[in-house]
């Protein structure tokens, strides 16, 4: 999805603290009304959980999607490993989709991101 907070159709409906599994998180409820081509952008509404104590990382989301005239749903859970300095590094995302026809799919995306020093290169 190519939707950002600055898109004209994006609206934050509510921001509230919640607790989940012993963590103090922030839940952001939103809606989205695509300003140009609604068929190409199915996102319509949902929520995202953010962890303010861990660099505002996404913990999970639950969104409603509209494909032409049928509704579906995407849910995701994010996992991180924490570096020695406390910085979170994404390790896994599990996405659960319910299609407009009621089919359920699960996608698991594993990441092995490593911190590396890379020399800066400049060109003129």
| pLDDT profile of the chain (124 residues), mean per 10 | 77 96 96 85 95 97 93 97 94 96 95 85 76
The whole model's pTM is what?
0.85
Q: Which domain holds residue 99?
A: 10-110
Number of domains the chain contains: 1
Residue 123 lies in a domain: no
The maximal CA–CA distance of the chain, rounded, in angstroms, is 54
Using the Cα atoms of residue 34, residue 68, residue 63 and residue 109 in order, give the sign of their dihedral.
negative
Residue 84 lies in a domain: yes
Judged by DSSP in three states, 99 sits in coil
Residue 4 lies in a domain: no
Residue 1 lies in a domain: no
pLDDT value, residue 24: 97
Residue 94 lies in a domain: yes
């Amino acid at each position: 999805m190519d939707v950002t907070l600055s898109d004209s159709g994006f609206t934050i409906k509510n921001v509230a603290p919640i607790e989940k599994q012993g963590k103090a998180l922030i839940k952001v409820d939103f809606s989205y009304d695509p300003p140009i081509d609604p068929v190409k952008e199915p996102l319509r509404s949902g929520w995202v959980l953010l962890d303010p104590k861990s660099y505002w990382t996404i913990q999970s989301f639950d969104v409603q999607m509209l494909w032409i005239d049928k509704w579906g749903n995407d849910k995701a859970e994010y996992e991180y490993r924490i570096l020695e300095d406390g910085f979170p590094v994404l390790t896994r995302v599990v996405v659960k989709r319910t299609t407009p026809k009621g089919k359920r799919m699960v996608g698991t995306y594993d990441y092995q991101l490593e911190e590396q020093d890379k020399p800066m290169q400049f060109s003129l």
